[in-house]
Structure 1
């Protein structure tokens, strides 16, 4: 049995990673829109890091393989991992209250730390595998796939939706700390504005 990975299989792995990022961003929107848990400043920054992580992989799928795209993804994952770790340390003392709902016993910032740390490893392994295959920068073989277009379109739509959500929540001001109950741009005259 031939265990060697082809360029097509590596591309499918990247698309699966982008789809996973889409799933995580959709899950964050589920908590935000359905359960009413507005993202705090850390959460918004973590979402930006997911967008950076996905952007490098997206650039590989659209414009062809380039090591700098993996560097962009790994950079987003590294910053996201550090932010998640900082968030975990901020919530570690016994007198602090955890932020948000728990999923399988762990809070979202703990899950994001594990996902980002795994993503750093993924980017490094993918860069090494492509380097071993000696793939030249250029168009990818899966450029006409309908599933590829659907995943890329969903990712781009989620990036736009997250940027719009962050703008509606904070306006042109800095990100607010946890506990925000309203979208600042929609409740400008509200007496309950945080």
Structure 2
């Protein structure tokens, strides 16, 4: 009984983490659509890393616990952490202008570095806790048996992944990601010259 309760609490913690990733992706859309700050190449890649991080957690909640799902999430967190750190180093020189808005005095790439690093530890701890037993829940656990808020978090995450893919396509088309300072959505811009 106590082990089952602990597994349920860990599952809820995992769903809360997936919901947090969804909120981060929503915040990114807020800055993109409301504040008019189009994501640069680093920002788009960091969003992809958030999608990878959430995908492993999502697979755990839909198909049951599998250590490889934590590996997928961990890889997303590790690559996202390194990209954010690289972004921080690119903006470290005093002559470089910071990119994007500051939130509580720190820019988004600094926040994403801290979040990805914490997420990497989260994946390691969750994999360790789940590894204490051979099988915690059977694969193919019915999605219908889940609480409504679990279904809502899953639907939000899947919708945000789709929205990010559409946004990246509208911004860059079939071309490579733009380096930064992009002012227009390439696929929606009707001007003669596309200026960054």
Unmatched runs of 5 consecutive residues or more in structure 2? none
Contact residue 8 and residue 141 of structure 1 kept, 8 A: no
**Cα deviation, residue 140, structure 1:** 4.5
Q: For residue 21 of structure 2, what is the aligned residue in structure 1? A: 21
User: What whole-Å deviation, never above 9, does each CA across 1:101-146 have from its counterpart, x for those lacking one?
Assistant: 0000000000000000000000000000001133255244874211
Secondary structure in 1 aligned to 2:46?
Answer: helix
User: Aligned Cα RMSD in Å?
Assistant: 1.7
Q: For residue 172 of structure 1, what is the aligned residue in structure 2? A: 174
Unmatched runs of 5 consecutive residues or more in structure 1? none
Q: For residue 154 of structure 1, what is the aligned residue in structure 2? A: 156
**Cα deviation, residue 39, structure 1:** 0.2
1:53-68 to structure 2, matched below 5 A, reads: 53-68=53-68
**Cα deviation, residue 3, structure 1:** 10
Per the normalisation by structure 2, the TM-score is: 0.93
The answer on 1:138 being equivalent to 2:139 is yes
1:74-113 to structure 2, matched below 5 A, reads: 74-113=74-113
Q: Give the Cα–Cα distance (whole angstroms) in 2 for the partners of residues 147 and 135 of structure 1.
A: 24
Q: Give the Cα–Cα distance (whole angstroms) in 2 for the partners of residues 26 and 8 of structure 1.
A: 27
Q: Give the Cα–Cα distance (whole angstroms) in 2 for the partners of residues 4 and 151 of structure 1.
A: 22
User: What whole-Å deviation, never above 9, does each CA across 1:140-173 have from its counterpart, x for those lacking one?
Assistant: 4874211111000000000000000000000010
**Cα deviation, residue 42, structure 1:** 0.1
Per the normalisation by structure 1, the TM-score is: 0.94
| Structure 1 residues 5 and 88: CA distance shift in structure 2, 3 A | farther
Secondary structure in 2 aligned to 1:155?
Answer: helix
Contact residue 22 and residue 155 of structure 1 kept, 8 A: yes
Q: Give the Cα–Cα distance (whole angstroms) in 1 for the partners of residues 49 and 194 of structure 2.
A: 28
Q: Give the Cα–Cα distance (whole angstroms) in 1 for the partners of residues 177 and 3 of structure 2.
A: 47
Q: Give the Cα–Cα distance (whole angstroms) in 2 for the partners of residues 72 and 3 of structure 1.
A: 26
**Cα deviation, residue 192, structure 1:** 5.3
Q: Give the Cα–Cα distance (whole angstroms) in 2 for the partners of residues 30 and 100 of structure 1.
A: 12
1:1-40 to structure 2, matched below 5 A, reads: 6-40=6-40
Contact residue 56 and residue 69 of structure 1 kept, 8 A: yes
Q: For residue 194 of structure 2, what is the aligned residue in structure 1? A: 193
| Structure 1 residues 4 and 94: CA distance shift in structure 2, 3 A | farther
